[in-house]
Amino acid sequence: MTPSLLPKDLAKINLFKRRTVMIWVILALSMVGLIVRLVYLQVITSPDLLEKARRQQMFTMRPFIPRRTITDRKGAVLALDRPVYTLFAHPHLYKKKPEEIAEKLAPILRRPADKLLSVLTRDTTSTQVEYWLSEEKADLIFSLGLDGLDLVQQRHRLYPQQDLAAELLGYVNVDHRGQAGIELSQEKLLERTDQAPSVAQDGNGKLIPNRIPAGMLQSDRTSLQMTIDSRIQRTARQILKQQMVKFGAKRGSVIVMDARDGGLLSLVTEPTYDPNRYYESDVKLFKNWAVSDLYEPGSTFKPLNVAIALEAGAIQPDTVFNDEGALTIGGWPVANFDYDQVGAVGSLSISQILERSSNVGMVHIIQRMKPSVYYGWLERIGLGDMSGIDLPAETSSTLKPQEQFIEYVIEPATASFGQGFSLTPIQMVQLQGILASGGKLLTPHVVKGLINDEGEEYYQPKLPTPRQVISPATAQRVVEMMTNVVEKGTGLPARIPGYRIAGKTGTAQKASTTGGGYINAKITSFVGIFPSKEPRYVVLAVIDEPVGADAFGSTVAAPIVKTVIEDIIVSEGIPPSHPEEVISKIPILPEQSASPSPQDVKPSPNTSPSAAPTPSRDRSNSPIPASTPPRDRT
């Protein structure tokens, strides 16, 4: 017989059962909750949590992202970025004596240890010890393992050619922002768009190799290529400096433009500066006066006026004018530069007017047109506008108001020989390019585009479509006339035997910058178009305020253009168009067998050595003309 349980015992058993059931219920509910939570975490919020975990593992690197390198048209480096370091010292973090630190740094920094010690012991939390340290020096300092020293990486712009193309390149400031030249105008092209990469790291802060993003080490390797030729640029600067010193000139500029597309092969201004040390130079030098300052071109503008008159039908190539030597226009005297010496000249053809640089002849040509028609043509070729060059701070040319130009007869008369209006040297090259390019108005530019490591074109800026302003036939006729200027006129000093150069001299009075009238100074210039047949190059030299009675466009500027063209001939391997002129300069030596050696020649007893015959010199073949060419003083 089973003993019966007491009520007290039954109560305990029931309580135990209830507790057991409750525990199981709690466990079951907990399991359900865990399952729900796991489902929530693993299924619903899994993407968000994975992204959060990834972000915790990733850190953003701050790599050295250089500004684009700048090269010339042949790949020579003109500007590039390099990493440099600034060394800071934190005295409160030193674990070695300052004297010991100074001794270790002295040979690396090439500074006396006692000088370094005075810097390292300054009473401050942080002090700059040295800046612009190379990577090599930074590595040496880092390898010392000295506490309290900190190396901060920065970017430094280097111009390896120094002042070769400073007026074109410009410079960057301490914030690495362009302040002049294409460093300023092409800021967006020069700054790279690379984003700082993010990489994964483990718990110890080390990179996880299989988590490195693809292409991390690849970056934008394009460079900005200019149209400039460093060789021509160097030659132009050297000869410009030489002539400026010779004639004590205030400043000068030389520009070489490709007549096919408007690309500049050279643009030089003097004086200039070294962009590596721009802070040591006068701020006035940072302005490229070849694109910013105006001048009156003088007689170099005469060929353009002839082209206008031909195109307008006012004259024909065989038209002849009577050159009186001097005349009065609206009460104002106008005379040729040589009127005091030769007086009236008489009949001159259009070509002869350019050869002699006749002011009176040019006045007669322009008088064949109505002032309003002439003014319209001046506007059509671009006077009053800017050239559109891709350099900063360009100034537009100036032209008198149309009402004034039409009302006063002296205005078109003075404009006929290149005075009474102003333009920049770069626009003068652009306008002469009309004649060299077959009548098209080109846009001068110095940026060719972006290229990759293989030299392949990556990007090319879009230029305005060349505008036809005169006919090719008219342009070629004027170029032929300008060729006579160099062959037998005022441009003779620019002549190169075997080659044909079209050119024009100019010597203009300088206009006052404070008001009307002119000052007692002049600006000399010469423009050359080469070769005369199928022109490709336009070369302009402008020299401001040369000193001396012999300072004219023919003596100061023409030799500069000649030297530059000679360099182009050599560098481009251009053969002579008239080789017979070159051959005639080469002395013909007799056959070796027919020529006795010096040892075989014995003077007779009655003949002294000084009486021995000497080779004759053919002065007709000398490149220097026997007579001084006429000088263009207009």
Could you write out the DSSP letters of every residue in 70-84?
Answer: EE-TT--EEEEEEEE
Given this model, what pLDDT does residue 595 score? 40
Average pLDDT (102-116) is: 91
Whether 51 shows a pLDDT value over 90: the answer reads: no
Q: What are the tens digits of pLDDT across the range 147-180? A: 889 888 888 899 999 999 999 999 999 888 999 9
Given this model, what pLDDT does residue 618 score? 34
> Among the ranges 205-209, 346-350, 628-632, which has the highest mean pLDDT value?
346-350
* Global pTM value: 0.78
- Closest listed residue to residue 540, CA positions, set 280, 174, 295, 195: 295
What is the length of the chain?
Answer: 634
Whether 121 shows a pLDDT value over 80: the answer reads: yes
Confidence of residue 5 (pLDDT cuts 50, 70, 90): low
Q: Please give the residue that has the higher pLDDT: either 518 or 446.
A: 446
Active site residues: 299
Given this model, what pLDDT does residue 474 score? 98
| CA atoms of 341 and 626, how far apart (whole Å) | 20
Q: Rg of the chain's alpha carbons, rounded to an integer?
A: 39
Mean pLDDT for all residues in the chain: 86
| CA atoms of 285 and 166, how far apart (whole Å) | 10
Q: Which helix (H) or strand (E) holds 541?
A: strand 537-544
Confidence of residue 500 (pLDDT cuts 50, 70, 90): very high
Confidence of residue 442 (pLDDT cuts 50, 70, 90): very high
Residue 564: both structure tokens together: 């530059």
Q: What is the 3-state secondary structure (H, E, C) of 326-351?
A: EEEECCEEEECCCHHHHCCCEEEEHH
Given this model, what pLDDT does residue 280 score? 92
Whether 219 shows a pLDDT value over 90: the answer reads: no
> Among the ranges 59-68, 293-302, 510-519, which has the highest mean pLDDT value?
293-302
Average pLDDT (586-604) is: 43
Q: Which domains does the chain have, with CATH numbers?
A: 231-447+458-572 (3.40.710.10)
Residue 71: both structure tokens together: 């090269």
Q: What are the tens digits of pLDDT across the range 372-393? A: 999 999 999 999 999 999 999 9
Q: What are the tens digits of pLDDT across the range 225-235? A: 999 999 999 99
Q: Helices (DSSP H) in 493-588: which residue ranges?
A: 558-572, 579-583
